[in-house]
A and B are shown apart, each in its own frame.
Chain A
């Protein structure tokens, strides 16, 4: 084959990898998007909840091997899915005892003052989780062991990593399920109402604090599942959350802050950007490319692809 054909295959390969990775990023961003959409809270600890999801999957599958009986193919999938309820419970408790103090109906109409406390509180939670993770889990990078991550399907010359492909399919399926939950069930509709206009939702009888607790648990739980899915194709350590916070915010901002569907497309786009950037940039600068894209988005289109302009005079 000629150089040009190889180059073309490289592009296709990067594109395929981008879509596959992007699917899980999209699911992650949906989790963050729910929290931002419903609560208007910038959750800095979101990446660290994802990290908890990764370790939950790791200990269930590889560490303690509780799920080993499912075999090397099904166990990582079950582990990732189980990470969801575990982190949901942690998030629910965090909201109940910490975050509810600085969010909710009484501060939602307050201007900058309220956000100040929220950002700082979630930063504190992030530090405790990341460093607590260092104490509990150690600093050595680990990953969920599965033959899936070493095997690929071949389509023409393009290789599709099995772990990533399975992750993509599950992520899309979960995102669709979530979409149905939000549009079909009354609970989901109440959540969307609270996201659309928290004050009006409170007036028509949506229990804002309860909606927030649910949204927070759901948001971190979904992201934890996405983390669990990534855990089998990437090694991680307790500090990984801070890198992913930017990845996720890039996706959410790109999709339009407040738009839950938009968050999925935003995350997918960020995955593409990250993988395509390897064609022109050295591997170490992958994340730098995301940061640059993130900055470009907020400078030129802060309302994102699906969002609307919030600020009014």
Chain B
């Protein structure tokens, strides 16, 4: 599979090169200076779209504020030129640096937000900058003409030179996007887009990925802004920081195709000439025609083809090509390099995970109320209790989704509290979720590969680890290439288990892995869990149904209203009156003790 990657990479390069040559030939034939300008603008906006796509298309965090980076790029170049005579050849890279710095300043606080909040606050940045630049007195900055050495200052008599420059910039952005798409970094972004908690629990350093994405994205946007200013020779706050500028980046990408590097190129290629031509023909009668075209285009695309034109065509072609053949599974690679060697089961005894007086409250509710327990290396530790007992909250505290209010959690001797989920995962703790958190648009193998990155130094090794994990849970073979969204509950549970096992953890936390399964499926998963445990992985499993657990677990801990009410061998725990009361209620307890005659 990885060997195939190199040849498809060549195909991508060939396609990009062919596009560049054809575009350049067309540009050379155009003599009308207005059409020459449009040909340049298409490339600038396609680059801007690619910038947006790198952050928002891959990671799913919608940015309405890319004009901030575009504007800073353009203004940095302009101000450096006007005030200190710095040539745009240096000014544009300088603008990119400013853009990246802004990305760091914006990213660190803003990535704490998600969904609506992220989108809204991104909208605020360029608008705030717009007013600041107006206040600073940069209402309209014009680039000075440098007649003595025009080329040194990026001033060319022949418009087509700008087209060529913009083409170089676009090709660079396309190649960057291509490599992002095919890298571990890009796959991690896609995983964040599809299910952030799952990505965190699978060991993806979410903040680092997002920061890298916004920095890269800002550099590309700033370059586009810089060149835009060079081509138009004038900058104003509304054109550089305005809402329409941010919106255009998003619109071209969504129209053309989101999450793929051809998308913004297609989108800008169709919409920019359309809007510009209408503006030229009708602009004097209907001044806002461009905005109307862009708005209408985005409304139409959301209603008719929500992923954009590229994916429409892609899906259509894929459907026509039909089920050609499933990819050959990477079985060969898997079995040779990284089949996890079953370690001898160590005698249960040494505590692997120690919880000491852990407290977690939500407002007045003490969801986890002073829980102390030890999970010993090599055992299967069942954590049971009625609904709302605090079991899942306890797991969320252990793996770092929630901070604890008090207490300590030591794993193999070192403190876990205060670590982020991906750091907990890196220490050797995997987990699954009560409601399966898959990456629904990725294949089973890709899903598990995301989890395997932590244990691997290369893509090939991660893939091999993933395949080995799939074999352990019985999902190897043809099902490995199925799309996760199409799996049955049973298969999803197994896939999630494989994702947790892929980086070869010492402890796995299973949250109601048995829920919603039929009798035979249940037995199948129980066998897998026992086998995994025999190979040396310690298991902590949450359930609220007792009978399957009695057969599986070596040790029971019972939670009720956030408190640990019993702990011990299953046989003893289920006879404990407090446990019976918690499960059946006081009335039944009384009846059990004083049977009605």
CB–CB B131/A284 < 8 A:
yes
Docked pose: A239 CA to B346 CA in angstroms: 70
CB–CB B291/A127 < 8 A:
yes
Stretch from A49-57, A115-123, A145-153, A192-200 forming part of the interface with B: A115-123
Of listed B112, B119, B291, residue having the most chain A CB within 10 A: B291
CB–CB B135/A120 < 8 A:
no
- Mark contacts of B99-141 with chain A using CB atoms, 8 A cut-off: 1 yes-contact digit, 0 otherwise: 0000000000100111111011101110110011011000000
CB–CB A135/B124 < 8 A:
no
Q: CB of A238 within 8 A of chain B? A: yes
Q: Which residues of B contact A9 (CB under 8 A)?
A: none
Q: How far is the CB of B221 from chain A (nearest CB, A)?
A: 18
CB-contact partner of A298 in B120, B197, B244, B291, under 8 A: B120
Count class of interface residues, chain B: 35 or more
CB-contact partner of B296 in A112, A124, A139, A294, under 8 A: A124
Closest to A45 in B: B295
Stretch from A15-23, A155-163, A241-249 forming part of the interface with B: A241-249
CB-contact partner of A127 in B123, B128, B292, B392, under 8 A: B292
Q: How far is the CB of B254 from chain A (nearest CB, A)?
A: 6
Closest to A238 in B: B288
Q: CB of A133 within 8 A of chain B? A: yes
For the complex of A and B, the 7 pairs showing the least CB-CB separation, nearest first, are: A131-B291, A127-B295, A131-B288, A134-B288, A128-B295, A124-B298, A124-B299
Q: CB of A130 within 8 A of chain B? A: yes
CB–CB B402/A313 < 8 A:
yes
Q: A124-B302, A127-B298, A135-B292 are in contact. Are A313 and B244 (CB under 8 A)?
A: no
Docked pose: A135 CA to B290 CA in angstroms: 11
Q: Which residues of A contact B401 (CB under 8 A)?
A: 313
Q: Which residues of A contact B298 (CB under 8 A)?
A: 120-121, 123-124, 127
CB–CB A119/B62 < 8 A:
yes
Count class of interface residues, chain A: 35 or more
Docked pose: A158 CA to B292 CA in angstroms: 45
CB–CB B250/A295 < 8 A:
no
Q: CB of A67 within 8 A of chain B? A: no
Q: CB of A291 within 8 A of chain B? A: yes
Q: CB of B243 within 8 A of chain A? A: yes
Q: List 16 A-B contacts (CB under 8 A).
A: A42-B116, A98-B299, A115-B115, A120-B254, A120-B298, A124-B294, A125-B299, A127-B295, A131-B289, A135-B287, A138-B287, A288-B132, A294-B121, A298-B117, A299-B113, A302-B117
Q: A residues touching B (Cβ–Cβ < 8 Å)?
A: 42, 44, 98, 101-102, 112, 115-117, 119-121, 123-135, 138-139, 238, 242-243, 245-246, 249, 253, 257, 282, 284-285, 287-288, 291-292, 294-295, 298-299, 302, 311, 313
Closest to B433 in A: A313
Q: Which residues of A contact B286 (CB under 8 A)?
A: 135
Q: A117-B302, A246-B123 are in contact. Are A139 and B287 (CB under 8 A)?
A: yes
Docked pose: A119 CA to B291 CA in angstroms: 17
Q: Which residues of B contact A44 (CB under 8 A)?
A: 64
CB–CB A132/B292 < 8 A:
yes
Q: A112-B115, A134-B288, A298-B117 are in contact. Are A291 and B124 (CB under 8 A)?
A: yes
CB–CB A295/B124 < 8 A:
yes
Docked pose: A246 CA to B119 CA in angstroms: 11
Q: Which residues of A contact B124 (CB under 8 A)?
A: 246, 291, 294-295
CB-contact partner of B302 in A112, A121, A132, A311, under 8 A: A121
Docked pose: A134 CA to B115 CA in angstroms: 31
Q: Which residues of B contact A288 (CB under 8 A)?
A: 128, 131-132, 135
Q: CB of B303 within 8 A of chain A? A: yes
Docked pose: A303 CA to B294 CA in angstroms: 34
CB–CB A287/B127 < 8 A:
yes
CB-contact partner of B396 in A98, A123, A313, under 8 A: A313
Docked pose: A131 CA to B287 CA in angstroms: 8
CB–CB B295/A124 < 8 A:
yes
Q: CB of B359 within 8 A of chain A? A: no
Q: Which residues of B contact A249 (CB under 8 A)?
A: 120
Q: How far is the CB of A242 from chain B (nearest CB, A)?
A: 5
Q: What secondary structure prevails in chain A residues at the interface with B?
A: helix
Count of inter-chain pairs, beta carbons less than 8 A = 133
Closest to A97 in B: B303
Of listed B112, B134, B296, residue having the most chain A CB within 10 A: B296
Closest to B134 in A: A284
Docked pose: A249 CA to B251 CA in angstroms: 22
Q: Which residues of B contact A257 (CB under 8 A)?
A: 116
Q: How far is the CB of B348 from chain A (nearest CB, A)?
A: 30
CB–CB B290/A131 < 8 A:
yes
Docked pose: A132 CA to B290 CA in angstroms: 10
Closest to B392 in A: A313
Q: How far is the CB of A263 from chain B (nearest CB, A)?
A: 15
Docked pose: A17 CA to B436 CA in angstroms: 54
CB-contact partner of B295 in A102, A117, A131, under 8 A: A131
Q: Which residues of A contact B303 (CB under 8 A)?
A: 98, 101-102, 121
Q: How far is the CB of A55 from chain B (nearest CB, A)?
A: 14
- Mark contacts of B56-69 with chain A using CB atoms, 8 A cut-off: 1 yes-contact digit, 0 otherwise: 00001010100000
Q: Which residues of A contact B288 (CB under 8 A)?
A: 130-135, 238
Q: Which residues of B contact A98 (CB under 8 A)?
A: 299, 303
Q: How far is the CB of A34 from chain B (nearest CB, A)?
A: 16
Q: How far is the CB of A54 from chain B (nearest CB, A)?
A: 17
Q: Which residues of A contact B115 (CB under 8 A)?
A: 112, 115
Closest to A129 in B: B295
- Mark contacts of B536-562 with chain A using CB atoms, 8 A cut-off: 1 yes-contact digit, 0 otherwise: 000000000000000000000000000
Q: How far is the CB of A56 from chain B (nearest CB, A)?
A: 19
Q: Which residues of A contact B302 (CB under 8 A)?
A: 102, 117, 120-121, 124
Docked pose: A230 CA to B362 CA in angstroms: 42
Docked pose: A299 CA to B124 CA in angstroms: 13
Q: Which residues of A contact B290 (CB under 8 A)?
A: 131
Q: How far is the CB of B393 from chain A (nearest CB, A)?
A: 8
CB–CB A126/B287 < 8 A:
no
Of listed A119, A284, A287, residue having the most chain B CB within 10 A: A119
